Chains A and B, each alone.
Chain A
Amino acid sequence: MTKTDTVQALLEQSPVDLIEQERYTCAIGALQSVVAIPRAVPILHSGPGCGTMIQGFFERSTGYAGGSTSPCTNFSETEVVFGGEQRLRGIIDGTYKVLDSDLQVVLTGCTADIVGDDVASVVADYRMEGRPIVQVETAGFKHNNFVAHSDVVNAIIDQYVDRYDSDWSARSDKALVNVFASVPYQDPFWKGNLYEYKRLLEALGLKVNILFGPQSGGVAEWQSIPTANFNVLVSPWYGLPIVQNLAEKYGQPFVRFGHVPIGANETSRFLETVAAFALEAGAPIKRHDIETFIAREEQAYYEEIDNLATFLLEFRYGLPNHVHILHDAGYVVGLARFLLHEVGIVPKEQFVVDNTPEEFQAQVRADMAAASDKRPIPLYFSPDAGAAQRAIRALTHKGRGLIIGSGWDKELAREKDYDFLSASAPSPYRLVLTTNYVGYSGGLRVIEDIYGVVLATYA
């Protein structure tokens, strides 16, 4: 058997789609997308532990009103038997009294959805009173949080943003774009990344609705979504239903970039792609300004790489020469491309652990294949990261190795005596605040993080 066959066999050996070492969570985990909107509050109509589970998965993720602050019906036997609609009304009433918020999103858990509560009509009553409230089905058995992120955003668009549609005319602001990229909290660098997308696109002359995080203008910004000229989607697959919904609703076209743009090659390509689309769509930006900005950013970037190259080429005590990445599809492709071309670390077997739906896998494979016309980079899809770890254990490559993954992979790296960079959820061994991996500066930060880890091994 070839090496590729062996890995594939290890991944497919399981007769059941169990998950060992989960790297994402269930649909209700998308409550974090609500937490990421300034002054929005998630209201859980779910079992008592759902909020705690999500808080435990992401850690340091409370935000304005997540974690222990989130109102919850805490389903008990009574609600399972008799239904929980009345209880939900009580919790919503209490939320308006106890918490100050601009937007309320009711998320249902397994219990409410199995029992069949009519949450839509409960919430509709409050909406009739003019409350900014939205509901979305997020039973854990239905989807994971990558998928449910789109459901939450679309619910807010359909049940909240749409109410303001008559105040605006769709696509009236030619310079404005809505950006859909990082899934908040699931992407540990979401805050920094979104900030950087905003900074980069504004530098092109666009105005940006970034929608999540401290750079977002909160609900006022969400209300202006229909006026944007077009949408920018940075994603291998998740988030696509959002821009499709907006295309249908407001006739907004979208431009899509399939992986996370890290480093100069990909960031410039990303900016050129968006700029070309923007010009086509009649955005008031100037080609000359774009070229000047990209040139200036690249110059600053390559000054660093130039300065660093001696270290990368000459450091005689050992640096990693190959990498295994366990991450979502956008990061696996983005990091692999970056490390191969801009750092000189060769991507060996790569593992996409985000449960990429089958219909998108070919596209992700093609995106990865385009990274190099010289070498194939073996790519595997399985959310069963435990199986991926077993495959990595069975692999050997010459030289010093690097693993980029979640906290689960720290022990694997130690066993294999590889360097380890924590860059994916869950991430108990690393603290991330506003660091970005996206962009020119993001590429430099990845370099700092990798070699920071490597140099720390020299006692």
Chain B
Amino acid sequence: MPHVNLQVPAVAVREIRLNTITGFAGNATELVSQSRCGGLVDQSRSFTQCLGCSTSNAACMVTLVQDGVVISHGPVGCSSCLHEFAFTYRVNAPLRGVQNPTQRHIYSTNLSEDDTVFGGNQKLADTIREVARRDTPQVIFVITTCASGIIGDDVEGIATEAEEELGIPVVAIFCEGFRSKVWTSGFDAGYHGIARKLVRPPRHKRPIINVINFWGSDIFSRWFEQFDASPNFITPYATTESLAYSSEALASVQACTTLGSYLSGALEQEYGVPALRAAPPYGVAATDRWLRELGTLLDKPEAAEKIIARDRAEFLPRVEELRSQLKGKSAYVTAGAGHGHSLLAVLAELGIKAQGAALFHHDPTNDIDSEDADSLVAAVRDYGDVPNFNICNKQEFELVNVLNRIRPDILLARHGGMTLWGAKLGIPSLLIGDEHYGMGYEGLVNYGEAILEIVENDEFVKNLAKHSINPYSKWWLEQPPYTFLGDDE
């Protein structure tokens, strides 16, 4: 059962809530077995490079809500990268049928030195009022920062007062960067605020299925129509209204267990919307299980069988061809936790040997308390062990060291910046931004063809490798990759 507490303003970070770790070196089987017996201990690093930040991940979940605005309560730098979400909102709108994507309204309270001495409460209150005057939004999201957190501003109190004054939800989201080394904690913070302040009790059940995801292509409509349902995408391109009545859905699914299980858990606990307890549909085994589980949940098992039969007939012959074309290839994966597991499943299904992985964190459990929903457990059960399995929160120096040793045929990455190092070493590297691209039977064809394409067209990376600039020392490249792991504290 989920155990979400919507009474408190801030959700605990993952390290506390799920015993999440960011440092591990071993193999996948070891990680899975240690996770379940409570024997997993985090290891820290005595040398580190820049991590991600919870505040940008919270922003990622709220900036693309169609009729909302975002206020970053902090110095101007803490919302510097949010213009990228404005770009995403505009360019991906057609994938979700949003005809006229409106300009994103992103504000900073622009905290100054005086504010760190005298507090930023008044400034936040004034900003909320001014923003409401400028934009007449349906919801205002306030995301916190290290500075506002350390000086102890009463963001919850200000938001509550403003909400009463303005008559629209003003959602305080607690996502200070220093609280967590697991920046996905920011997703949870965003969902926590949405579940607390926006979601309302259901009026009646409706034939919709919540899809907790980013902004990828809509592959779900094609599946859900067989169940006489349609997707309710959360949270990018959602509206205040569609979020409010996500409580009326038949079920919740997620593009990635890491991303979605906090919100799907909250919806299940508070409003009885069942969260699907199956790893996301990447690879044949997981896809079949996911569709069948959904069929059982919706009491339409025959619909699931129909989709499976149809998709097998349509895509498996091409998958077979791809398997023979990709035979003997090896790969290395670097990605966030859930999606990384899914990529490992896709690789195994295509007959490509995973020589290792560097995933950004590891959750020993999840917010729906389901081993069946755990995509690493599923990948290991379905396809066996993965060696050189490293939990590494985007520590480029370790990645460079490992890649330099392993020299896989391809690097599969998710999250910007990481493909560069594959390419610099002359390794064909692939980043697919659309996380739905690999789902289902069709996804195997998509990925197989994309991998084949980069393997065949490797002239660019070969040339780049000849001329690449390398700031890493000779000494470092000769050390074991996890030299700095578990080296302090």
Whether A74 lies near B48 (C-beta < 8 A) is yes
Q: Report Cα–Cα, A69/B472, bound state, in Å.
A: 9
Task: Indicate if A195 sits at the interface (CB-CB under 8 A).
Answer: no
Chain A 108-127 interface mask (CB, 8 Å, partner B; 1/0): 01110011000000000000
Q: Report Cα–Cα, A195/B363, bound state, in Å.
A: 50
Whether B471 lies near A74 (C-beta < 8 A) is no
Task: Indicate if A51 sits at the interface (CB-CB under 8 A).
Answer: yes
Q: How far is the CB of A54 from chain B (nearest CB, A)?
A: 6
Whether A69 lies near B396 (C-beta < 8 A) is yes
Q: Is the interface of A mostly helix, strand, loop or mixed?
A: mixed
Task: Indicate if A90 sits at the interface (CB-CB under 8 A).
Answer: yes
Nearest residue, chain A, Cβ from B399: A68
Chain A 128-147 interface mask (CB, 8 Å, partner B; 1/0): 00000000000111101100
Whether A51 lies near B50 (C-beta < 8 A) is yes
Nearest residue, chain B, Cβ from A57: B80
Whether A25 lies near B77 (C-beta < 8 A) is yes
Determine, out of B83-91, B264-272, B456-464, the stretch whose residues face the partner at the interface. Answer: B83-91
Residues of A with C-beta under 8 A to B113: 139, 141-142
Q: Report Cα–Cα, A80/B151, bound state, in Å.
A: 11
Q: How far is the CB of B281 from chain A (nearest CB, A)?
A: 30
Residues of B with C-beta under 8 A to A114: 116, 147, 150-151
Determine, out of A93-101, A203-211, A373-381, A433-441, the stretch whose residues face the partner at the interface. Answer: A93-101
Q: Report Cα–Cα, A99/B476, bound state, in Å.
A: 8
Q: Report Cα–Cα, A28/B55, bound state, in Å.
A: 17
Whether A98 lies near B147 (C-beta < 8 A) is no
Task: Indicate if A24 sits at the interface (CB-CB under 8 A).
Answer: yes
Residue among B81, B131, B476 facing the most chain A CB atoms (10 A cut-off): B81
Q: Tell whether A49 pairs with B47 under 8 Å between CB atoms, given A20-B105, A22-B79, A69-B471.
A: no
Residues of B with C-beta under 8 A to A41: 471
Identify which of residues 408-439 in chain A touch chain B, using a CB-to-CB cut-off of 8 Å: 408, 411-412, 426, 428-429
Q: Report Cα–Cα, A253/B275, bound state, in Å.
A: 71
Whether A100 lies near B109 (C-beta < 8 A) is no
Q: How far is the CB of A36 from chain B (nearest CB, A)?
A: 14
Nearest residue, chain A, Cβ from B130: A14
Q: Tell whether A67 pairs with B177 under 8 Å between CB atoms, given A57-B81, A72-B48.
A: no
Q: Report Cα–Cα, A79/B50, bound state, in Å.
A: 16
Task: Indicate if B123 sits at the interface (CB-CB under 8 A).
Answer: yes
Q: How far is the CB of A30 from chain B (nearest CB, A)?
A: 10
Nearest residue, chain A, Cβ from B484: A94
Chain A 53-82 interface mask (CB, 8 Å, partner B; 1/0): 111110100101101111111111101100
Residues of A with C-beta under 8 A to B49: 51, 68-72
Identify which of residues 112-135 in chain B touch chain A, using a CB-to-CB cut-off of 8 Å: 112-113, 115-116, 123, 126-127, 129-131, 134
Q: How far is the CB of B20 from chain A (nearest CB, A)?
A: 14
Q: Report Cα–Cα, A428/B85, bound state, in Å.
A: 11
Residue among A57, A79, A145 facing the most chain B CB atoms (10 A cut-off): A57
Q: Tell whether A20 pairs with B417 under 8 Å between CB atoms, given A68-B49, A69-B396, A98-B397.
A: no
Task: Indicate if A217 sits at the interface (CB-CB under 8 A).
Answer: no
Task: Indicate if A368 sits at the interface (CB-CB under 8 A).
Answer: no
Q: Report Cα–Cα, A69/B51, bound state, in Å.
A: 10
Task: Indicate if A21 sits at the interface (CB-CB under 8 A).
Answer: yes
Residues of B with C-beta under 8 A to A21: 83, 106
Whether A19 lies near B107 (C-beta < 8 A) is yes
Whether A56 lies near B56 (C-beta < 8 A) is yes
Q: How far is the CB of A19 from chain B (nearest CB, A)?
A: 5
Whether B103 lies near A411 (C-beta < 8 A) is yes
Residues of B with C-beta under 8 A to A391: none
Task: Indicate if B338 sits at the interface (CB-CB under 8 A).
Answer: no
Q: Report Cα–Cα, A408/B87, bound state, in Å.
A: 9
Nearest residue, chain A, Cβ from B127: A18
Nearest residue, chain B, Cβ from A72: B50
Task: Indicate if B184 sits at the interface (CB-CB under 8 A).
Answer: no
Whether B396 lies near A68 (C-beta < 8 A) is yes
Q: Tell whether A407 pairs with B87 under 8 Å between CB atoms, given A49-B183, A111-B146.
A: yes
Q: Report Cα–Cα, A110/B181, bound state, in Å.
A: 17
Q: How far is the CB of A431 from chain B (nearest CB, A)?
A: 13
Q: Report Cα–Cα, A94/B115, bound state, in Å.
A: 35
Q: How far is the CB of A203 from chain B (nearest CB, A)?
A: 30
Residues of B with C-beta under 8 A to A76: 178-181
Per a CB cutoff under 8 Å, which of B50, B53, B126, B151 touches A16?
A: B126
Nearest residue, chain B, Cβ from A20: B107
Q: How far is the CB of A247 from chain B (nearest CB, A)?
A: 27
Q: How far is the CB of B262 from chain A (nearest CB, A)?
A: 20
Task: Indicate if A294 sits at the interface (CB-CB under 8 A).
Answer: no
Nearest residue, chain A, Cβ from B50: A51
Task: Indicate if B54 sits at the interface (CB-CB under 8 A).
Answer: yes
Identify which of residues 146-195 in chain A touch chain B, using a CB-to-CB cut-off of 8 Å: none
Q: Report Cα–Cα, A322/B77, bound state, in Å.
A: 33
Whether A426 lies near B53 (C-beta < 8 A) is no
Task: Indicate if B166 sits at the interface (CB-CB under 8 A).
Answer: no
Task: Indicate if A29 sits at the interface (CB-CB under 8 A).
Answer: yes
Residue among A18, A56, A77, A411 facing the most chain B CB atoms (10 A cut-off): A18
Q: Tell whether A53 pairs with B106 under 8 Å between CB atoms, given A99-B472, A428-B87.
A: no
Q: Tell whether A18 pairs with B110 under 8 Å between CB atoms, given A49-B52, A54-B80.
A: yes
Nearest residue, chain B, Cβ from A426: B83
Per a CB cutoff under 8 Å, which of B53, B87, B105, B131 touches A52?
A: B53
Whether B47 lies near A65 (C-beta < 8 A) is no
Q: How far is the CB of B180 from chain A (nearest CB, A)?
A: 8
Q: Report Cα–Cα, A141/B77, bound state, in Å.
A: 9
Q: How far is the CB of B13 from chain A (nearest CB, A)?
A: 9
Nearest residue, chain A, Cβ from B53: A49
Task: Indicate if B469 sits at the interface (CB-CB under 8 A).
Answer: yes
Whether B134 lies near A390 (C-beta < 8 A) is yes
Q: How far is the CB of A21 from chain B (nearest CB, A)?
A: 7
When A and B form their complex, which 7 residue pairs have the shortest distance between CB atoms, in order from nearest? A49-B53, A56-B81, A94-B47, A26-B77, A51-B50, A140-B75, A57-B80
A-B contact pairs, 11 of them (CB 8 A): A16-B127, A17-B110, A18-B107, A19-B110, A41-B471, A69-B471, A71-B47, A72-B50, A98-B473, A110-B146, A139-B113
A interface with B by C-beta (< 8 Å) = 14-22, 24-29, 39, 41, 44, 47-57, 59, 62, 64-65, 67-77, 79-80, 90-91, 93-95, 97-101, 109-111, 114-115, 139-142, 144-145, 383, 386, 390, 407-408, 411-412, 426, 428-429
**Further contacts, 12 of them, CB under 8 A, given A21-B106, A93-B47:** A39-B471, A48-B51, A49-B55, A50-B177, A68-B394, A71-B48, A76-B181, A97-B47, A98-B473, A110-B147, A140-B75, A141-B75
